[in-house]
DNA sequence: ACCCAGGCATTGG
DNA sequence: CCAATGCATGGG
C-alpha cells in the first residue's frame, strides 16, 4: 500500500460519486467503501486517507493512472479563487468543496464511454457499458479492465448489438477501434485541432469531442454546449443560453460544467 | 402503453 | 442550409 497526496481541499466521497450515481461501474467499481480499478494486470484499491488516498498496491504506473483518474490535473485552487465572486457556480463550489471531477485515464475508453451515453439516459448508458465491459473486458478480482481497442476491433458488430448498442453505435465503436489514428497523440494538440480531428470520425460529433477534452484531457475551457443536462442547468440556474454562459464562465468552463451538473443533481431544491 | 433521456448521421425539402 | 427521422435501453 502507498499514499497518494492530492492538493487540498480533497473529498474522496464527493469526487467518486459519479461512479455510484447511475448504478455501478464495472471498470471503476465501488466496493466496501473503496474504488477498485484494474491497472495493468492488477486490481488496485483506492480508499480515502487524510490529504489524499491510500492505494493498494502502488507502483509508478499506478501512481500516474490513479492521479489522472482522480482528477489530479485540475487546478482546483485557481477555480475556487475565481468562483468565489461568481453567482451560482460560486455557491456550488463552496457546497461541493473538495470535489475533483474524475477523468478517464485512457482516450479510447473515454470516447467509447461517451458514445454509449449519446442520446440515452445515463442509467441506460451505464447498463449498456457494463454489459460491454463484462463481455469484452478482463476481470481481475472484483473489477474489470475496460475492453482494449484490439479486442473491440476483433469483435463482430452483432456482438456489440447483443450488449445493447444500437447498430449505428456498434458500428461507430468498431470503426473507432479500427481507425488509423493515434489517440494518445491527440493530447499534444490544442483544443480546436482535437475537435477537428475527432469530429471527422463517424459517430463522434461536437458533444463527444468536447467531453473528450473535458473528461480525458482536463482542458480548462472545454464546454459541451450541446449537452442536454447542462443546457437545462444553464436555463434554470442562470436563464442564459449555453453560448452566453460559456463566455461568462471563461476560462473555467470545464470545472464549472462539472460543478453545475453535480450541483443540479444533488441540490434538487436549487434546480 | 407510453414518454423522455448528458447525440449523431442520414435524408428530404 | 434547416427540419424531420430512426435508433435501443432504463426509469418514471
Domain residue spans in chain A? 2-72, 75-95+219-271, 107-215
pLDDT of residue A271: 44
pLDDT tens string A143-162: 999 999 999 999 999 999 99
C-alpha cell recorded at residue A97: 468543496
Q: Per the confidence metrics, is the pTM higher than 0.85?
A: yes
- Average pLDDT on A76-91 reads 98
Q: Are A173 and A160 in contact (CB under 8 A)?
A: yes
Strand partners, A140: A143
Distance (Å, whole) CA A25 – CA A131: 10
H helix intervals, chain A: 12-15, 18-21, 60-69, 76-83, 89-95, 107-117, 122-136, 149-154, 157-162, 167-178, 191-198, 206-215, 228-233, 242-248, 253-266
Distance (Å, whole) CA A170 – CA A161: 6
The mean pLDDT of chain A is 97
Q: How long is the CA A242 to C1' C11 vector, in angstroms?
A: 27
Distance (Å, whole) CA A92 – CA A196: 32
Could you tell me if residue A32 is left (phi over 0), alpha (psi between -120 and 50 degrees) or otherwise beta?
A: left
Cell 468536447, residue?
A210
- Domain at A75-95+219-271, CATH from 1.10.10.10, 3.60.20.10, 1.10.3090.10, 1.10.1670.40: 1.10.1670.40
Does the CB of A224 fall within 7 Å of any strand B atom? yes
Does the CB of A119 fall within 7 Å of any strand B atom? yes
- Average pLDDT on A180-208 reads 98
- Average pLDDT on A231-256 reads 97
Model confidence at A246: pLDDT above 60 = yes
Q: Which nucleotide is nearest to A257 (CA to C1')?
A: B6
Task: Strand B: list positions under 7 Å from protein Cβ.
Answer: 4-10
Does the CB of A168 fall within 7 Å of any strand B atom? yes
Q: How long is the CA A269 to C1' B7 vector, in angstroms?
A: 28
Q: How long is the CA A170 to C1' B1 vector, in angstroms?
A: 28
Q: Is the dihedral of CA A243, A103, A251, A266 positive or negative?
A: positive
Q: Per CA to C1' distance, which residue is closest to B10?
A: A168
Supply the Cα-derived Rg of chain A in whole angstroms: 18
Does the CB of A225 fall within 7 Å of any strand B atom? no
Q: Which nucleotide is nearest to A124 (CA to C1')?
A: C10
Q: Is A222 helix (H, G, I), strand (E, B) or coil?
A: coil
Q: Per CA to C1' distance, which residue is closest to C10?
A: A124
Q: Is A210 helix (H, G, I), strand (E, B) or coil?
A: helix
- Average pLDDT on A266-270 reads 69
- Give residues with Cβ within 8 angstroms of A138, minimum separation 6: A38, A144, A145
pLDDT band at A115 (very low <50, low <70, confident <90, very high): very high
pLDDT of residue A200: 97
pLDDT tens string A50-81: 999 999 999 999 999 999 999 999 999 999 99
- Average pLDDT on A115-129 reads 98
Does the CB of A204 fall within 7 Å of any strand B atom? yes
The overall longest dimension of chain A from CA atoms, in Å, is 52
Determine the distance from the C-alpha atom of residue A213 to the mean position of all C-alpha atoms in its chain, rounded to a whole number: 10
- Average pLDDT on A222-241 reads 97
Model confidence at A220: pLDDT above 50 = yes
Task: Strand C: list positions under 7 Å from protein Cβ.
Answer: 6-11
Distance (Å, whole) CA A156 – CA A27: 22
Does the CB of A256 fall within 7 Å of any strand B atom? no
Q: What's the CATH superfamily of A107-215?
A: Hypothetical protein; domain 2 (1.10.340.30)
pLDDT of residue A1: 86
Distance (Å, whole) CA A260 – CA A266: 10
pLDDT of residue A249: 98
Amino acid at each position: 500500500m502507498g499514499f497518494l497526496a492530492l492538493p487540498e481541499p480533497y473529498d474522496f466521497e464527493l469526487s467518486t460519486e459519479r461512479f455510484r450515481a447511475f448504478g455501478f461501474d464495472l471498470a471503476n467499481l465501488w466496493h466496501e467503501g473503496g474504488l477498485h480499478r484494474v491497472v495493468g494486470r492488477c486490481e488496485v484499491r483506492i480508499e480515502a486517507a487524510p490529504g489524499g488516498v491510500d492505494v493498494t498496491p502502488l507502483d509508478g504506473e499506478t501512481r500516474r493512472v490513479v492521479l489522472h483518474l482522480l482528477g489530479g490535473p485540475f487546478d482546483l485552487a485557481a477555480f475556487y479563487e475565481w468562483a468565489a465572486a461568481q453567482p451560482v457556480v460560486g455557491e456550488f463550489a463552496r457546497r461541493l468543496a473538495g470535489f475533483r471531477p474524475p477523468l478517464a485515464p485512457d482516450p479510447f475508453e473515454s470516447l467509447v464511454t461517451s458514445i454509449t451515453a449519446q442520446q440515452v439516459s445515463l442509467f441506460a448508458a451505464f447498463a449498456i457499458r457494463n454489459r460491454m465491459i463484462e463481455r469484452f473486458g478482463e476481470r481481475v478480482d472484483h473489477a474489470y479492465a475496460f475492453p482494449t481497442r484490439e479486442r473491440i476491433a476483433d469483435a463482430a458488430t452483432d456482438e456489440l448489438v447483443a450488449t445493447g448498442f444500437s447498430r449505428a453505435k456498434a458500428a461507430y465503436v468498431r470503426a473507432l477501434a479500427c481507425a488509423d489514428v493515434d489517440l494518445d497523440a491527440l493530447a499534444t494538440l490544442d483544443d480546436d485541432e482535437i475537435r477537428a480531428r475527432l469530429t471527422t470520425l463517424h459517430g463522434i460529433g461536437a458533444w463527444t469531442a468536447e467531453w473528450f477534452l473535458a473528461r480525458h484531457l482536463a482542458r480548462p475551457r472545454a464546454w459541451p454546449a450541446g449537452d442536454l443536462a447542462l443546457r437545462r442547468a444553464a436555463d434554470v440556474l442562470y436563464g442564459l443560453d449555453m453560448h452566453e454562459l460559456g463566455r461568462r464562465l471563461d476560462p473555467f468552463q470545464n470545472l464549472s460544467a462539472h460543478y453545475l451538473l453535480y450541483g443540479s443533481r444533488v441540490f434538487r431544491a436549487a434546480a
